[in-house]
Chains A and B, each alone.
Chain A
């Protein structure tokens, strides 16, 4: 039923958008930021609804559905208006998308709050946490880099993959700085979370990861970001708090390590 409403909405909006688009082409319109904001809300809410009625089936993660559905709608609309998807995205979606995107800045800063709430654990284990994340990340980077080369990924794509240990908002500017494509980085960060959601329990069992609760937390937090933190919390409260610490600390570690690694292997 929701999708029907959306179809009707889109028809009306599409007509309006046609005018907006021709105005954008002449640089006269500033009003169509509304379309980007509206589309983002609609696809995300559809994602949440699907996630709810499917009892949390992993492929229906709201963010993942929102991304795929959003691109698909832009692709269809671009066809309808006779332009290519990239041009249509830039002129119609980007003004609104950028407004929502901007709020990632204060949202990233806000992660200092959960970090501070676990300050007792951070204070006691800071050396182990930092050492483990630095050493673990360097080893992981070498393996990921070699695996990427083995599959013949281009330099730009490799550079987009390396910073994905960090949370998306931090990984994207680092990817741009080392010659990667931030859009690919964002997709990979989303995929990381989807993979951990789908395979997390199985991987924890097969690799006996829960033998060390602190390690399980840091590993899940790094590999799966906030989704990994939720998985870790299911294993126990130590794992959960370690995972949320890892999400923040690994982002800072990535920022320190990845640009140096990229120069070392000659990516830039």
Chain B
């Protein structure tokens, strides 16, 4: 086992080593713990859920280079790859609210179809408007490297 590890690390000497997975988990746990202490400080009229605090916290830590990508990348990408599976219990949660669906199901689906199209079209056109302003009013550069 130890010999194998040495070989694999010798093969890629230039690339920085990813942190051990338990350390990565520890970083996530620490951020989650701190976030769970910060989240209740927000007033009820402006709720900020714990994961949102954590998201912003990790972004700030990455942007200030306190936490490096290699410290969190492996575990983070793993979690994101599982995201659809993690949502299954939220979907099944509906089993407790079947009565609401019986009463309003069809109406909800129609409104959701409208809502989805509205969000797509309105946000796309609003953005096009702001980009147009950047280009023609402030003569800013809007090219992006592929």
Contact = CB atoms under 8 A, between A and B. Distances in A.
B89 A97 contact: yes
A119 B63 contact: yes
Contact of B86 (A103, A188, A237, A256): A103
A191 B95 CA distance: 16
Interface size class of B (residues with CB under 8 A): 35 or more
Contacts, number: 328
Given A187-B91, A219-B120, A263-B45, A147 B83 contact: no
Query: Is chain B's binding surface mostly helix, strand, loop or mixed?
Result: helix
Interface string A52-90: 000000000111101100110011000000000110111
B5 to A, nearest CB: 25
Given A67-B88, A67-B92, A218-B127, A115 B47 contact: no
A132 B130 contact: yes
B44 A177 contact: yes
Contacts of B2: none
B116 A223 contact: yes
A228 to B, nearest CB: 8
Interface string A199-241: 1000100010101111110111011101010000000111000
B110 interface: yes
Contacts of A192: 112, 115-116, 119
Contact of B79 (A106, A182, A218): A106
Contacts of A107: 79-80, 82-83, 86
B76 interface: yes
B127 A70 contact: no
A248 B55 contact: yes
Interface residues of A, number: 115
Given A63-B84, A90-B96, A105 B55 contact: no
Contacts of A86: 95-98
B32 A183 contact: no
A44 interface: yes
A204 to B, nearest CB: 8
A140 B127 contact: no
B47 A40 contact: no
B91 A140 contact: no
Contacts of B76: 109-110, 112-113
A238 B146 contact: yes
Contacts of A63: 84-85, 87-88, 91
B88 A40 contact: yes
A98 to B, nearest CB: 7
26 contacts: A64-B91, A85-B98, A98-B89, A106-B32, A107-B79, A107-B83, A109-B55, A110-B28, A112-B55, A112-B62, A116-B59, A119-B63, A124-B144, A133-B123, A144-B119, A164-B115, A182-B93, A203-B117, A214-B144, A215-B125, A215-B126, A219-B120, A219-B121, A219-B127, A222-B120, A223-B117
